[in-house]
Each structure stands twice: as C-alpha cells, then as structure tokens.
Amino acid sequence: MITDEDKERVRQATDFVQLVAETVELRQRGQEFWGCCPFHGEKTPSFKVNPATGLWHCFGCGEGGDVFSYVQKRENLEFPDAIRYLADRAGIELTEERGGSRGPRKTRLMEALGAAEEFYHTMLMRGKGSGPDEARRYFAGRGFGSEVCRRWGLGYAPGRGALVAHLRKLGFTPAEMIAADLAQERSGRLMDRFYERVMFPIHDEQGRTIAFGGRVIGPKRDNVAKYVNTRDTAAFNKGKHLFAYDRAKEGMAATGEAIVCEGYTDVIAMHEAGFSNVVAALGTAFRLDHVRLMERQRVRRIVCMFDGDAAGQRAAERAVRYVDKTSAALMCVVLPDNQDPMEFLAAHGADALRPILAGAWPLMDFVFEKRLEGYDLSAPGRRVRALEDMASVLAPLKRSVLLDEYATRLADALGMDVEETKRAIREAPVRELDEERPARRTPAQAPAPAVAASVAPVEDGGVPDDYVPLEAYDAVPASPAPAVAEADAGMGMLSNEERMQLSAERELLCAIAQRPDALRGLGERIARIVWADERHEAMAWAMLSTPEGTSPAGVVAAASAVVPEAPRILSGGRVMDEEELSDEQKLEFIVDTAELCSCNRRIRQIRGRLRSAPADAESERLFSEATELQRRANELANRLSSVLSE
C-alpha cells in the first residue's frame, strides 16, 4: 500500500510544468502556464497549469485535478499506478517496494536487468567460441556491424548458468533474478532464462533496461521458439511498452508521425537508415495503450508497416478497432514482394522507402481491399460470406460513430442493403475484446456525482457548467437556464441560480487555494456564507485553518485531506486569471459574488418558511432577517455592477 507520506514525497519531487511540457507547448501568463489541451482537440489554448497550487484545468473539456490525475489520464493508469509512475521517474523508492509482500524491489530488478545487458553485450563483442561467433555473423548478415551493436546494446546469451553466476558475483539474489525473468528454477537449480540467443535489450521511456527479446540462432531445433521475450514483471509490461520508444519519441514529436514495424531488426534498420520515429510492439498485438503512448508525442499519423503475408493482414485488421479512438490518422504500408523493412532497405535504400511511406494507405482502405479481393462478388452466396467476413473485422466499431460510414461503404461494395449490413456488423462477435477493455473503476475511485456533473461539457462545443465568465456574474440571470445537471444526493435537479452559486463557491475556493493569506482577512465575511455544497464549506475551513504562510500546494493538500476530490474542484478557477482587474479587486469580486449568491439562497429559504409559518415572533424574526439580507444583496449587486461597467 502506498502511504500518504510517499504520495507527498512524489508530489514534491515532480516538476509539474516540466512533466506537462513533455507533450504540451506551454506559454507562461503571470504565475500560470497555458497551452492546448492534450486530451481533446482545440486550436485556442484553454488548458492551464498552476505550479504554485499543483493543479491543472481545461476550460474546454472541463477536466482538471492534480499531478496524479493528470498522469492517470495521460498514461491511462489507475491512481496507485500513477504514483508509482512518478516515483519511478523521480527515482523514489516507495515504502511498499521495501516490504517483502510484493517481492524484490523494482529498483533492484532494473539494476539486475542493466547488469544483464552489459553481460550479454560483452559476450557478443568479446566472447570466444562458436556461439558468440555465430551471433556476430547473424548481426553482420543483417548489416549490423560492431558500431550498430554498440549503439543498440545488442548481445548474446550463452546460457548454461553463465548469467546467473555473473549476477551472483554482483550480489543479486535468486529471488531478484527470477522476479526480473532473467533466471528460472528447474529441478532445484537456478538456470539462465535465455540461452544460445542473440539479445535485443528493451528500454523504458527514460532509456533504462526493463526487458529483453531473444532470437534463437543456429540450426532449427524442435520445440524451441524462434523468439522468446521477457514475461511481464514489476518493471515491464509488454502491452504498455514499445521497442525503441525511448529513441523514437523525439523523432515522433518532430515529424508528427510514428512508424510501427513488426520486428526488432526492422526497427534498428529503419533508425540506422535515418528514420528516427520507428517503434515495434513487444511480443503482443498492437494495442490501444501503444496508440496512447505514441499520441503523447502529438503524432498526426501512425503508419503501420505490416508484412505482406497473412499474419500482416491479421495485424492490420486488429488495428482497425482503434480508428475511432485516436486523433491520429491510422495508415498502412505493405512493401513490395512481401519484403520486410530491413530487406527493403538493404535492396533499395532509404530514398526508395520515403515516397512509399508518404503514400501510405488509410488503414481501412487496405483492410477493405485485402479482405474483399479474395471473393467473387458476382455470386450472391459469396457476397453473403464476404459480408460475414467483413462484419467480423468491423465488429469492434459496432458502437462507433463511424459505423454508418463503414457500413455504407461495405454495402456499396457488396451491392447490399445498408441496414442489413449494419445489422450484420452489430451482431458479429468482437474478437479479443478483453485485450482493450478499460480497467474498471472502484466506487472509491469514481468521481463524486456533483463533481462529475459540474465538469461535464455542454453540447455543441460550449463550456462546462462550472465555468461562469465575468460578465455572467449578476443578480439576475441574463438568459434561460441551461440543461439541468444531476447534483449530490439531496440536492435534486439544479436550477440556474443553484448552478451559479456552486460556480461562485468554486471560484472562492480556487482563490483561497491561490491566495490563502490574503483571504484570511475576509474570514468573517466568508463565515456568513450559506454554502450550497457542504464539501465546499469543509474545504474552505480546512484551507483557512492552515497556518499563515502555508504554500498554495500545502493549502490544496489540507483541502484534499477532508474532500478527496478537492484537486479537481480547485483546478477550475477562472476569475483569478483575468488581467483587467488587480489582485485585490479580483478577491473582492469573488467574495462579493459568493456572498450575493448566499444571500439570495438564504432569502429563498426564508420566503419558503414564511409561506407556511404562523404569524408569531419567529416569523417576525425571519422577516427582519430577510429584509436585512435583501438590503445586503442590493448593495453587493450594485458593487458588482460597478466593477463590470468599468
């Protein structure tokens, strides 16, 4: 279990602005940094990061929160894994990694893997005997001389316990070797996991060794797999990593294009030929997590270079399911004569490959043509069979907005009815669906109903309900109420006035988070507010109760301690970003607005009670309170109007 202390250590060790700037071009405005949101398409920046509070928010899509929620969304991780991801980046060893219940520490596994890479590489470059000689001939036959082998850390695994003996001398335990999948126990003996294979080291985004791919060399042996890859470990997940991503990410960002090959040697050959944006999947099908990983580099095109055989066609068909899940165009290239990239480059050179890549097909065009070219569509029965065949390929898109387009295209190709084609696609089973099923959120991880509702974007490209521009702060709504949203249990359906009060409360909370000391002096006024959301009240007093001089990040942490979803609520303030008002005017404006909404709320409550209350002393007291509140509301409305008219 990750402790609160570890969580805060990770937060403080993370440069939030630098983290976001890896994938978002940021420009500083005052104390904040603004850019285009990485989570939805936009041309005008509406995404901001506040390094003082440690919060982010997008006014376009309504998403926001702290550094952990940002990593959750960017990396498609659960909350604990987001903390582990950032801890790994910062070189922080979490308390859970020191406990024995989870096995050897991840840092030790990665140290062992790094030592194994050095050992394998030394065996390739300096090893004596037929094995290393054959490994060197294998690489040389593919055009990989000694310099290429050095650049890529290529190696040779002799097996026969050589690596185990080497790692023992370095102080690694059997448990650590097994956990890193470098060794396995057989008949009570610890044996090398890889033997008599050329070795391709696999690195994480930061270039650290996390796994290996091993290819058998020498005469074909029965029951011996051609390729053996590291199993999933605490340091490696084949469905989330890409071979050479650490080398290719800059090339992807620079070109806006990613190229996906099917083999290690193809990737190396492409990089050596000058194509610096090439990666490969690792012993598994191309997955959505791989697409997300490439999207982080703002790629506009993902070009899949599939082999021209049946396996390549199947790989293309599996990738179809992602066409509606990425903003990047999914393209496809099949090289002539069923050559793989390494063979093509050796025969024709890099200059011949560039126009082929530039002329890549849209992935769906390739799948349609390849699937249908084997059918005689003049025969009705074969058209039905072709429909069934293509329906199985398109089944992952049965709930996609693109279904109409592809169903119409298929119906036209087969001369069939569009609705019948749609029905066939909808009824076709989805193959390997479990590979891409998103992790289920536990109730504790799900956002609270009111928060989720408040950040939902308005239809037709509008702004979220919790975004109220300066001109909207008025005692009387200027336009009809928007579509109502679901509130917390007990709040029912929100009126426009209730929605405005919630927005005003959030603006006040955001101001407290950014300027806690300045708002402590207004504590008496804040104490008079009748809050529409009890979570807001708890957050306000948690923040104002912190000692004077507490940093904005510390104030946010205090709010998070009483309301877990505080980072998301506190990330969306807008008024403090306005440049036309001074900081003092902004704070007065925010407090005036929150107090005005509170006055109007209390007046409505009193009026409701007076309608059914008998004429007695309590009624007179309530009437007097309402009269005083109305006077105060008028005063606040006039003050706000004067600010807006300046």
What string of DSSP letters covers 200-264? EEEE-TTS-EEEEEEEE-SS--TT--SEEEPPP-SS--TTT--BTHHHHHHHHHHHTEEEEESSH
- Tell me the CA distances in angstroms from 10 to 48, 82, 86, 149, 368, one per residue in order: 21, 10, 7, 37, 48
Separation CA 123–CA 290 (nearest Å): 32
Where is average pLDDT lowest: 129-138, 356-365, 611-620? 611-620
**Which pLDDT belongs to residue 646?**
60
**Which pLDDT belongs to residue 489?**
33
On whether the CB atoms of residues 184 and 191 are closer than 8 A, the answer is: yes
Separation CA 262–CA 286 (nearest Å): 9
Separation CA 300–CA 291 (nearest Å): 11
**Which pLDDT belongs to residue 197?**
95
Residues contacting 204, CB < 8 A, separation 6+: 210, 235, 241, 246
* Per-residue b or e along 595-627, where b marks 16 or more CB atoms closer than 10 Å to that residue's CB: bbbbbbbbbeebeeeeeeeeeeeeeeebeeebe
Higher pLDDT pick, 643 / 37: 37
pLDDT band at 306 (very low <50, low <70, confident <90, very high): confident
446: pLDDT strictly greater than 60: no
**Which pLDDT belongs to residue 532?**
83
User: Which domains are present in the chain?
Assistant: 100-229 (3.90.980.10), 245-368 (3.40.1360.10), 374-435 (no CATH), 449-645 (no CATH)
Separation CA 416–CA 362 (nearest Å): 24
Burial class of 255 by CB neighbour count within 10 A (0 to 12, 13 to 18, 19+): middle
pLDDT band at 392 (very low <50, low <70, confident <90, very high): confident
Token output for 120: 């394998």
434: pLDDT strictly greater than 80: no
> In which residue are the tokens 């690489």 written?
139
Higher pLDDT pick, 509 / 106: 509
What is the maximal distance between C-alpha atoms in the chain? Answer: 107
Kindly state the percentage of the chain with pLDDT values over 90: 36
On whether the CB atoms of residues 285 and 435 are closer than 8 A, the answer is: yes
Once rounded to an integer, what is the mean pLDDT over residues 497-503? 81
Once rounded to an integer, what is the mean pLDDT over residues 44-72? 91
pLDDT in tens, 221-246: 667 788 889 998 988 888 889 999 99
Continuous segment of H or E residues that includes residue 548: none
The structure's pTM equals 0.61
Q: Tell me how many degrees the CA angle 419-422-427 measures, rounded to the nearest 5.
A: 125
Token output for 187: 């008949």
Token output for 281: 């999947």
Residues contacting 583, CB < 8 A, separation 6+: 515, 518
